[in-house]
Structure 1
Amino acid sequence: MTLGRALHKSAARTPLAGDAARSAQVSGVGMAGAAAVVGAAATGAGAAEESVRRGRVRLPVLVSAVILVLSMVLSIALGAVTISPADQISTLLGHLPLIGFHSGVAPIEQAIIWDLRLPRVVLAALVGAMLAGGGAAYQGVLRNSLADPYLLGVAAGAGLGATVVIVLGGAGTPILPVAAFVGAVAAVALTYTVAAAGTERAGGYALILAGVAAAAMLTAIQTYLQQQHADQMRQIYNWILGSFAVASWSDIWMVAPYIAISVVVLLAHRRILDVLRVGGDEATTLGVDPRRAGLAIIGAATLGTAAAVSVSGLIGFVGIVAPHAVRLVAGASYRVVLPVSMICGGAFLVLADLVARTVQAPAEVPIGVITAFVGGPFFLLVLRSRRSRHGVL
């Protein structure tokens, strides 16, 4: 191809570059100079396009972050004792090391903020972010918009692990979340084993079917244990429906490393998720190994989800509501969907927990009931929209 033809093709692709080339030729710079001008103009156009793309990501992230912060402030403020935002900030500064800030807040209010409400709100935000991010990741890898982070048996495994500890008299002990975490990870390992045994590799449909089978089996065992220990049925159901009533800083420190690792891995794969959602063959032609990438993404989502449910119980619909709500507002690109879903999922669960502990105060409603009230109708809307677009569920 001659230099003139190359300039012509570049001008056709990039109007800005084409104008620059014609201007350079008219001014007598020559073909070599025109090529240099075209290159500079194309680089500038590419930089401008990248800047626009970053802006499309930053604005939704910023807006959702503001919503999350406001949700947390509101949740800390409301309750049997009302706490002002100023007292919240003073208490927080007073507990930060190396600052030496003396808070004028009454000791009882400091205890309410630091020991009761703040760890509860932070844990709800972490769990909500992980469930929403895990749901979005599962939907991208499996190319199923109705997938959620419990699809591969995480919920059933965690429920069985917790049930075993409760019937053995370990309710309320530190071993309970550990058992739930181990049960969740073991359930997903079982799902992968079953899926791989039936096919050459654990593909999307094989994983879904294996997850359903594993969940059914583990749920049957859990139900049997419940029937054999009817006196502890209430404790088991309270855990299954989810609650942050006994949230503490130790719970946060226990799950934060796992959730942090999961979030970092998922965000690092957000562009690959955009490639995977168009299909495995297309991803391969673009240089992405769909099996390896899918395994890394599902593994990270499973790790974080297992950690989250180990301290919160089984809270449904977060992994469906948040990602779909974000897609309705910000589009389908995972560069936006994944981080914004995490932030919005955190805000959603913080507000759900606020309703759960105040709607029937001093009694608490299980948070899973609140999320189901919101998520159930939303789930039906998603099903209806899929049917109207594709003619099938």
Structure 2
Amino acid sequence: MAADVHRLTPADPHHQERRHQKRRSSGLLGRTPFPLTVLTLSVLTVAAAVCAVGIGAVAIAPDQVLTAVMRGMHGTGTTGDSFIVWQLRLPRVLEALLVGAGLSGAGVLVQVLVGNQIADPFTLGLSSGASLGAVTVITTLGVGAAAGLTLPLGAFTGAAAAGATVFLCATSLSGLSASRLVMVGIAVGHLLSGVTSFLILRTGDSEATQQVMYWLLGSLSGANWELVRIATPPVLAMLLALPLLVRRLDLLALGDGTAAALGIHPGRTRIGVFAVAAVLTGTVVAISGTIGFVGLVVPNLARMLVGGLHRRILPVALLLGALLMLLADTAARTLLSGTELPVGILTAAIGVPAFILVVRHAGGAR
């Protein structure tokens, strides 16, 4: 009798640990209705987007922003504030949302692919491929090439080539394994980074070198409607495909043995997940440069908030990523008067403390 009482007392460390794990399994917002969480994040993102369009050297009130957007949609936003909103700021805000959501979604996929929560989209070597493509364009064709579509096209081509190389080298008859994917991705990434460094060193054009370094740190300063129209279809298509992968992602996260026992082929499933992650990463890196920490921190933050089920993680990660990128880009273009910071510096400044918080939180949950 005494033993039974002792086993059930709250002081029992094993009993407390089980209660603790159960409470944490659904995340910090586990008691909040999930639709309310998504709705709140959606409203915050839309409100932040409207405010971001109005922030700049010329301040524009939210109601005037909405009016200018409506005029632009009807083809009449060509003068004054309407021109600033429609032609200059709105494309940049939309691009920030695309890049943030794309990197966050890719981050969730990559972390499941390799079975490691400290992985990010750049683990696959795609970023290094995009960097090599962009640097090749700038150092070969000159700084003028960065003003058009040649630079994004070169970056996407480099990312696609890197992704194809990693895929071919990491795939065997049994499919795509997590360990080979990590090793090949890191190896290919280092190789391409070395080639990129060589191209930077051999160019004698200081202006080209400055442009390369700015691109490598990430920037949305070149945003325009043409880039938004080109990047939106592939990014949206991949994001819309994510709900179809939710169950498979949950099973992969349990381990290959459990996933196979529950009816999926882990190696073949990784091929499809890898393809979606590669297209997302290649597209957004091509238009924004190499922006770090978003794909690493946001998926972990989403897990901390809403638990480990991917039907909850993915919507929250996409919204958090879009919101984080929007805030970082707005700060990058407004913090210093007359000077724009590379947005990668801001995401690193935000991402490092956030990542440390996530790591400490995860350590405390064990």
Matched, 1:180 2:155: yes
Q: Which deviations, in whole Å up to 9, do the C-alpha atoms of 1:337-371 show, x marking residues without a partner?
A: 11110111011000000100010022101000000
Match of 1:344 among 320, 331, 334: 320
What residue number does 2:273 align with? 297
Q: What is the Cα deviation at residue 108 of structure 1?
A: 1.1
Q: What is the Cα deviation at residue 213 of structure 1?
A: 0.4
Q: What is the Cα deviation at residue 195 of structure 1?
A: 2.0
Instruction: Indicate the SS of the match to 2:124.
Output: coil
Match of 1:357 among 322, 325, 333: 333
Matched, 1:157 2:132: no
Q: What is the Cα deviation at residue 299 of structure 1?
A: 0.7
Matched, 1:137 2:109: yes
**Aligned equivalents of 2:364, 2:38: Cα separation in 1:** 30
**Aligned equivalents of 2:364, 2:33: Cα separation in 1:** 28
Matched, 1:272 2:248: yes
Matched, 1:218 2:192: yes
What residue number does 1:78 align with? 55
- Worse-matched range after superposition: 312-321 or 263-272: 263-272
Q: What is the Cα deviation at residue 148 of structure 1?
A: 0.7
- Worse-matched range after superposition: 322-331 or 236-245: 322-331
**Aligned equivalents of 2:38, 2:281: Cα separation in 1:** 22
Q: What is the Cα deviation at residue 157 of structure 1?
A: 0.1
What residue number does 1:206 align with? 180
Matched, 1:63 2:35: no
Instruction: Indicate the SS of the match to 1:244.
Output: coil
2:301/2:358 contact within 8 Å kept? no
Amino acid at match of 2:146: A
**Aligned equivalents of 1:334, 1:383: Cα separation in 2:** 20
Structure 2, unmatched stretches of 5+, are 1-29
**Aligned equivalents of 1:83, 1:301: Cα separation in 2:** 37
What residue number does 1:24 align with? none
Q: What is the Cα deviation at residue 297 of structure 1?
A: 1.4
1:60/1:336 contact within 8 Å kept? no
Q: How high is the TM-score relative to the length of structure 2?
A: 0.86
2:65/2:85 contact within 8 Å kept? yes
Q: Which one has the largest radius of gyration? A: 1
Q: What is the Cα deviation at residue 189 of structure 1?
A: 1.3
Q: Which deviations, in whole Å up to 9, do the C-alpha atoms of 1:232-279 show, x marking residues without a partner?
A: 211101111111112101001111111012112222212221121111
Match of 2:350 among 367, 374, 384: 374
Amino acid at match of 2:243: L
2:103/2:294 contact within 8 Å kept? yes
1:181/1:307 contact within 8 Å kept? yes
Return closer, same or farther for 1:230/1:368 CA change in 2, 3 Å cut-off: farther
Instruction: Indicate the SS of the match to 1:273.
Output: helix
Q: What is the Cα deviation at residue 107 of structure 1?
A: 2.4
Residue correspondence of structure 1 range 3-152 to structure 2 within 5 A: 56-97=33-74, 107-152=79-124
- Worse-matched range after superposition: 277-286 or 348-357: 277-286
Structure 1, unmatched stretches of 5+, are 1-52
Amino acid at match of 1:295: I
Amino acid at match of 2:114: L
Return closer, same or farther for 1:387/1:273 CA change in 2, 3 Å cut-off: same
Amino acid at match of 1:109: D
Match of 1:259 among 231, 235, 255: 235
Return closer, same or farther for 1:293/1:57 CA change in 2, 3 Å cut-off: farther
Q: What is the Cα deviation at residue 289 of structure 1?
A: 2.0
2:71/2:82 contact within 8 Å kept? no
Q: Which deviations, in whole Å up to 9, do the C-alpha atoms of 1:138-161 show, x marking residues without a partner?
A: 112322111111111011000000
Matched, 1:308 2:281: no
Q: Which deviations, in whole Å up to 9, do the C-alpha atoms of 1:72-125 show, x marking residues without a partner?
A: 11211111111111111111222334xx9x88xx92100110001100000000
**Aligned equivalents of 2:359, 2:169: Cα separation in 1:** 28
**Aligned equivalents of 1:171, 1:274: Cα separation in 2:** 41
**Aligned equivalents of 2:168, 2:113: Cα separation in 1:** 18
Amino acid at match of 2:187: A
Higher RCO structure (Cα 8 Å, ≥6 apart)? 2
Matched, 1:196 2:184: no
**Aligned equivalents of 2:290, 2:38: Cα separation in 1:** 27
What residue number does 1:246 align with? 222
Residue correspondence of structure 1 range 223-242 to structure 2 within 5 A: 223-231=197-205, 232-242=208-218
Q: How high is the TM-score relative to the length of structure 1?
A: 0.80
Q: Percent identity?
A: 35
Aligned length: 331
2:100/2:322 contact within 8 Å kept? yes
Q: What is the Cα deviation at residue 219 of structure 1?
A: 0.4
Instruction: Indicate the SS of the match to 2:147.
Output: coil
Amino acid at match of 1:171: A
Instruction: Indicate the SS of the match to 2:122.
Output: coil
Instruction: Indicate the SS of the match to 1:269.
Output: helix
Q: Give the RMSD, CA atoms, in angstroms.
A: 2.0
**Aligned equivalents of 1:360, 1:371: Cα separation in 2:** 16
